[in-house]
Structure 1
Amino acid sequence: MAKLPRFSLSYNDKNKKWELKREGSGEVVKRFKTKADATKGGVLERAVKKMGSVRIRKRDGKIQEERTYPRSMDPRGRG
């Protein structure tokens, strides 16, 4: 199985926005005003160009959940 790009959605206290970053490089892919804006209706899937694993973090930095796109690539078999 091909290795999926990894991303992380976390809150940035300095700019008061939620940031989707590419893990490893730290490159900000997209910023969102609220976490709900980032996680609703396929927004994350489009942001990672329909291919990748996204760790969604709570405001305190702890991992809340992980989503894999496309779902069929989820190693946990929840496709």
Structure 2
Amino acid sequence: MTNSNDRHVVPNPKGGWDVKAGDAQRASAHTDTQAKAQARARDIIGNAGGGEMLTHGRDGQIRAKDTIAPGNDPRNVKG
């Protein structure tokens, strides 16, 4: 199930990392490092009312998911 507030942290082919919404053509943000992109994605999702942050590896595969408050996380543990 996809939420319009969800964001993907993906590697940019020209270098750095992008924060993208779903099937968007353009990035919401571009940073030098993955950690900065994740921090920016958390800000964007939190300001939009919560959702999921999906972090992709350089191979394009999703390697981590995180619910950003006030999202609807059914589990008590972080991750």
TM-score with structure 1 setting the length: 0.71
Q: Distance in 2 between matches of 1:25 and 1:54?
A: 15
- Counterpart of 1:7 in structure 2 is 7
Report deviation, 1:71. Answer: 5.8
Q: Distance in 2 between matches of 1:44 and 1:7?
A: 6
- Counterpart of 1:44 in structure 2 is 41
Report deviation, 1:44. Answer: 2.6
- Counterpart of 1:61 in structure 2 is 60
Q: Distance in 2 between matches of 1:71 and 1:29?
A: 20
Tell me the percent identity.
Answer: 19
Q: Distance in 1 between matches of 2:29 and 2:71?
A: 24
- Aligned-pair RMSD on alpha carbons? 2.3
Report deviation, 1:43. Answer: 3.7
- The AA in structure 1 aligned to 2:17 is W
Unaligned runs of 5+ in 2: none
Instruction: Point out 4+ residue stretches in structure 1 off by more than 6 angstroms.
Output: none
1:77 to 60, 64, 75: 75
> Contact 2:19–2:27 at 8 Å: present in 1 too?
yes
Unaligned runs of 5+ in 1: none
Q: Distance in 1 between matches of 2:50 and 2:32?
A: 23
